[in-house]
Amino acid sequence: MSDTPQDVIIGLEVHIQLANLKTKLFCSCSSDYRSAEPNTHVCPICLGLPGSLPVINKKSIEFATRLALALNCKINPKFWFFRKNYFYVDLPKGYQISQYNKAGGKAFADGGKVTIKINSSKKEILLNRIHLEEDPARLVHKGSIRTSPYTLVDYNRSGITLIETVTEPVLSSPAEAREFLNQLKLIVQYTGISDLSLEGTLRVDANISIKGHPRAEVKNITSFKEVESALIYEITRQKHEIKKGKEIMQETRHWDGRVTIPLRTKEFEKDYRYFPEQDLVPIVIKKEFIDEIKDYLPEMPNERVLRLQKQYMLSEFDAENLILDKYIADFYENGVNKDPTFGPDEYKLYCNWLMNNIVGWLNENNKKIDETKLKPSHIIDLISNIKKGNITTKIAKTLIGDMMKGNSISKMIKDKGKKRISEETIIEEYSREVIDENPRIIEDCRKNPKAIEALIGRVMGKTKGQADPKITRKIMIILLRNMRIID
């Protein structure tokens, strides 16, 4: 058995809640269910009570059209919904209203593609289709799904609009899958149909197989981060089974955050007994409707990269980094446009501070930019204080944390006078610079240890008096001792 990545075949089904809709797909229950008590955003339709009749939310059709356009899919001019029959407690009706591209049916849209970058070369990930369906209920297990004595069901989520994006089985590694999802997330955010920041807005099912063997479907992957670990686990498991001479079962497995466990033997497609949903009438999508949506389609990530390069004279690298998070890119444009004196240098500086320091801080603290008190003007203030010589770049970097709390650099300088630096790594850096730049004083130190005062003075000068003199002395002595200049 060879171990090359070409042996791995992955196809993804990505379910995204259209979280920017106010109501569910087939009823007018509020979709804002996350902080609600269980079973309070429900009605006869989403509880599946007999005699209730679904009516389609017009906006879900608009949102699906936006995504189809953004992904370059071909929107089908006429389609209808189907019942997908299976019995599971999350489905009160005994069927899910979904779409089906067989038996005369059509998906919402066919084809499409997402371009990803892997090791700086581009790859097109082809899509099979996108379609609309309703979200099942949320299940709550006491403890884990394995040990829970019963299942609790909350139908608040039942009937929320999901859009499912199905790739062709063309992904060949967990890393590719991760890149694909990052790009898809970006496109979804830019279309404005869902911001994907809320818990449970995304669920991924992955079909995984080793070439020449049956595939397993892994369900319940609930975050972008987990996709990669679930895929790596499942690929390793399958390769082990094959190595041991065992056959891979065609089955559905459940990702529990650590491992995949068998859930139920794969139901075959015919077992879903798809048939047209008679409670809903067909949908006809006219070209004029699509054109209208197209006119209002927000700028897409790839278009923004080009514009940012042109408008702010940024490199392709910087522009591509900025757009990775729509909110960061918005923050950037908000900021640089606030100061009319900004030119190419400031555009670049602003980008560097944002991408290196602010985003670094956000990642370390696991926060999003709108969860902090940082305002676009704070970075303008930072840049201007550095330019005026009120503060050095190194010291400014140590103040990022305070800035995220909404304190401007100007205010910090005013409040505390010159900010003391007590961070040893920074003082050490300055001290090394001073040592490198002053070979003559170093020579003096060999004969007269008092010459060390001159070096400390130079560090104070470089930091505009902000370095703590005691710590500076301590560090300087250690450095000189290591160099065997002093005893």
Nearest distance from residue 415's CB to another protein, in Å? 47
Choose which of 155, 255, 347, 430 interacts with another protein (CB under 8 A): 155
Residue with the two structure tokens 């900025």? 322
Asked if 192 is part of the footprint of another protein (rule: CB under 8 A), the reply reads: no
Closest approach of Cβ 84 to another protein, in Å? Answer: 12
Binding mask 61-100 for another protein (x = CB under 8 A): x------------------x----xxxxx-----------
CB of 162 to another protein, least distance (A): 15
Residue type, 12: L
**From residue 113 to residue 142, what is the string marking binding to another protein with x (rule CB under 8 A)?**
--------------------------xxx-
**Separation between Cα atoms, residue 192 and residue 190, nearest integer Å:** 5
CB 210 within 8 A of CB 200: no
Minimum CB separation from another protein for residue 137, in Å? 8
Residue 386 found at the interface with another protein (CB under 8 A) = no
CB of 321 to another protein, least distance (A): 35
Q: Do 105 and 99 meet the contact criterion of CB atoms below 8 Å apart?
A: yes
Q: In this chain, which stretch among 227-235, 276-284, 344-352, 426-434 interacts with another protein, using CB under 8 A? A: 276-284
Strands of the 95-98 sheet, one edge to the other? 95-98, 82-85, 275-276
**Can residue 249 be called a binding residue for another protein (CB under 8 A)?**
no
CB of 112 to another protein, least distance (A): 23
- 209, two tokens: 């197989």
| Total Cβ atoms within 10 A of residue 235 | 19
Specify the pairing of strand 251-255 against strand 216-221. parallel
| Binding residue for another protein, selected from 153, 290, 359, 413, defined by CB under 8 A | 153
Single out the residue of 2, 4, 6, 150 in contact with another protein (rule: CB under 8 A).
150
- The count of chain residues that interact with another protein, using the rule CB under 8 A, is 53
Q: Could you give phi then psi for residue 362, rounded to 5 degrees?
A: -60, -45
**Judged by CB under 8 A, does residue 278 bind another protein?**
yes
Element (H, E) at 130: strand 121-134
29 binds another protein, rule: CB under 8 A: yes
Show the tokens assigned to 388: 């005026």
Our CA dihedral for 258, 264, 265, 267, rounded to 10 degrees, sits at -120
| Token pair of 364 as six digits | 């370390």
The answer to whether 242 and 213 have CB atoms below 8 angstroms apart is yes
CA gap 234, 269 in Å, rounded = 23
The CB-side HSE value for 30 (13 A sphere, CA atoms) comes to: 9
- 38 touches another protein by CB under 8 A: yes
CB of residue 264 vs another protein: minimum separation in angstroms? 9
Residues that bind another protein (CB under 8 A): 21-23, 27-30, 37-44, 47, 55-61, 80, 85-89, 104, 139-141, 145-146, 148-155, 263, 267, 271, 276, 278, 280-284
